[in-house]
Chain A
Amino acid sequence: MRVYIDGVGLYGPGLDSWDEGRLILSGQRPYERRNMPPAPASALSPNERRRCGTTVRLAIQVAEEASIRAGIDATVPSVFASSGGDSEILHNLCETLATTPKDLSPTRFHNSVHNAPVGYWSIAHKATASSTSLSCFDGTFAGGLIEAAVSVLTETGKTLLVVYDLPAPEPLHSACPFICGFGVAFVLARKAGGRSIAALDIELTGDTGNIAVMGNSDLETIRTGNPAARSLTLLEALALDRTAGLKIPYLDDLAVYLTVEPIVHRAQ
């Protein structure tokens, strides 16, 4: 499958935006690991921002950045992918149900569903476009990328892909030991346009060896420590702005081979 990347959004520890991430991943600026504060998510109204959790804010942050870069509006369908969903809220609900009284917060219950982030996205932009929310454990980035690419090629022409995860509190953390938060978003298109930065060929392969890794040990720790950060090797290829082939993990018996070809826009 060939699709085109029209916009990127990024939010991770020491990676506050795609602008900053591109400089770091291309080697123009050293990487410095920093704590990741809750994402500003300025697209949300004040009432929605205080009501939603940090997972929603992370998803909205990268979705907004990628959309602005790609110049799309909210009529573009979306795929939101997260391995664990809002684990902080799930933890809180479990804790409440294990104690007395068992009265759940209506807002937290509302936010606990896996498609809550795209709900907030739709409210923020009054969007009525279709959306898909999925989870695929450690293969969530590859799963989301395939779903979004199929959507682009068979239905929509353009699709917003948003992938995000935050570490869970204990005891959920022991089951899904994500070491940090990470969010990434891409706007994928069927045809190359004025904002396209690269062509991306996506191919499933049964050869799961030789998964691409990061040269920087801190970034490699992040790549393996959060399912959304499995996107880092693709982001690095985009930042370096040169043709590259790389494999990303998907399922136990399947991987995804990506070929990245930068698109050079000639000055008018």
Chain B
Amino acid sequence: MSGLRQQIKEMIVEVLNLEGMAPDGIADETPLFGEGLGLDSIDALELIVEIEKRFGTKIANRDIAATALASVNSIAAFISASKGEAPANQAT
């Protein structure tokens, strides 16, 4: 699962053009929105499209997005569950 988390972090930095931030600079549990990474609703839309494109996983509505996009861990868990894989072990 660490490989999936790393892919997600790289996606976030690349797609959202987070200048000066390395993928490893995003902790697995860091909130992506609000007080954490400071992303906003436009970024959420961008992530929804990119997650579907890269991982073939569709985020169907706003409620699911709010839960799934909370952190790198939650995105990894959502992608794994969508593919019928075992829940991701949460990194500590």
Partners in one complex: yes
**A106, B46: Cβ atoms under 8 Å?**
yes
Q: Is B52 an interface residue (CB 8 A)?
A: yes
- For A, the interface residue count at a CB cutoff of 8 angstroms equals 10
Report the bound CA distance from A28 to B58 in whole Å. 61
Chain A contact residues: over half helix, strand or loop, or mixed? helix
Q: Which of B2-10, B13-21, B76-84 contacts A (4 or more CB under 8 A)?
A: B13-21
Interface of B is mostly: helix
A101 to B58, CA, bound (A): 13
Please tell me if the beta carbons of B42 and A50 are within 8 angstroms of each other in the complex.
no
Residues of A within 8 A of B45 (CB): 106-107
Return chain A residues, CB-CB under 8 Å to B16.
Answer: 50-51
Report the bound CA distance from A105 to B17 in whole Å.
13
Q: Are B52 and A103 in contact (CB under 8 A)?
A: yes
B18 touches A105 (CB 8 A): no
Nearest to A108 among chain B residues (CB) is B46
State the CA gap A107–B38 with chains docked (Å).
17
Nearest residue, chain B, Cβ from A49: B19
B24 within 8 A of A: no
State how many angstroms separate the Cβ of A206 from the closest Cβ of chain B.
48
Measured in the bound complex, the distance between the Cα atoms of B45 and A110 in whole Å is 12
Q: Say yes or no: B49 contacts A47, CB within 8 Å.
A: no
In the complex, the chain B residue whose C-beta lies closest to that of A50 is: B17
B53 within 8 A of A: yes
- Complex contact A47–B46 (CB within 8 A): no
Give the distance in Å from the alpha carbon of A103 to the alpha carbon of B19 in the complex. 24
User: In the complex, which residues 3-53 of chain B have their Cβ closer than 8 Å to any Cβ of chain A?
Assistant: 15-19, 38, 40, 42, 45-46, 49-50, 52-53
The docked-state distance in angstroms from the alpha carbon of A104 to that of B48 is 11
**In the complex, are the beta carbons of A47 and B18 less than 8 A apart?**
no
Q: Which residues of the other chain, B, contact A51 by a CB distance below 8 angstroms? A: 16-17, 42
Tell me whether A47 and B40 are in contact in the complex, defined as CB-CB below 8 angstroms, given that A105-B46, A107-B46 are known contacts. yes
Q: How far is the CA of A50 from the CA of B52 in the complex (A)?
A: 22
Whole-angstrom distance between the alpha carbons of A50 and B38 in the complex? 13
Binary flags per residue of A77-119, CB closer than 8 Å to B gives 1, else 0? 0000000000000000000000001011111001000000000
Q: How far is the CA of A107 from the CA of B15 in the complex (A)?
A: 10
Given contacts A47-B38, A50-B18, A105-B50, 4 further A-B contacts (CB under 8 A): A50-B19, A101-B52, A101-B53, A106-B45
Query: Can you spell out 7 A-B residue pairs with CB atoms less than 8 angstroms apart?
Result: A51-B16, A51-B42, A103-B52, A105-B46, A106-B45, A106-B46, A107-B45
| Chain A residues engaging chain B, CB cutoff 8 angstroms | 47, 50-51, 101, 103-107, 110
